A and B are shown apart, each in its own frame.
Chain A
């Protein structure tokens, strides 16, 4: 049982390049999330998917797109990377089962945009 997995772990891009961050969970959770974390800041929600087939914007969606490929997989795409997108990206999943709903996080992707 791997929990939440993310690929790649590290990535360096040049300004204007595109890439897709992959996330998969094996906990049969309905909901999945993408966050970014910048130094000295907490996590900020980029996009989330409450269930398969649905996606919704979070606090900082500009410059990103997402795809909920199936119940297990949720990808984040940067179409034209900018230095401001240098960050650590975390994927999370949860069952959205009520007040005690807990989000479980993947190991993160450390992205640098030059």
Chain B
């Protein structure tokens, strides 16, 4: 069973702080990694993807990937109340299972004013 685990929440941070969301995966052959944001009652929407080791920045969001440790994270700088949502980590396994994303259980983030 290929697993994706996210840090248990809920996570609560004050406005303006850095929120750190973590995800580990069990399949060493996994090729690409996605972070989705899901507001309550809505569908998931892509924040960013990463497939090379290191950091990838997009505005206030930074994704970090360490394939040796099988670890991917999402940092949200200058957190805003509008960032309050559930964040889903998804892993693309590659090989014959390419495209069949495995999702973590999600981390609920609350940013309080």
Give residues in A with beta carbon < 8 Å to B.
31, 40-45, 48, 50, 58-59, 90, 94, 96, 99-108
Contacts and interface: CB of A to CB of B under 8 A. Distances in A.
B11 interface: no
Contacts of B103: 42-44
A40 B105 CA distance: 6
Interface string B93-113: 000001111111110000000
Contacts, number: 57
Nearest to A48: B100
B100 A45 contact: yes
Question: What are the 9 tightest A-B residue pairs by CB atom distance, in nearest-first order?
Answer: A42-B103, A105-B43, A99-B32, A99-B51, A43-B103, A42-B105, A96-B99, A105-B44, A42-B104
B92 interface: yes
Interface string B4-28: 1000000000000000000000000
B88 interface: yes
A48 to B, nearest CB: 6
Nearest to B49: A100
A105 B32 contact: no
Nearest to B103: A42
Given A101-B32, A101-B92, A105-B44, 15 more contacts: A31-B99, A40-B106, A42-B88, A42-B105, A43-B90, A43-B103, A45-B100, A48-B100, A50-B99, A58-B100, A99-B92, A101-B99, A103-B34, A107-B42, A107-B43
Given A42-B4, A42-B105, A102-B49, A96 B43 contact: no
20 contacts: A41-B105, A42-B4, A42-B103, A43-B90, A43-B101, A43-B103, A45-B102, A58-B100, A94-B99, A99-B31, A99-B32, A99-B51, A100-B49, A101-B99, A105-B44, A105-B45, A106-B43, A107-B42, A108-B42, A108-B43
B32 A100 contact: yes
Nearest to A100: B49
Nearest to A105: B43
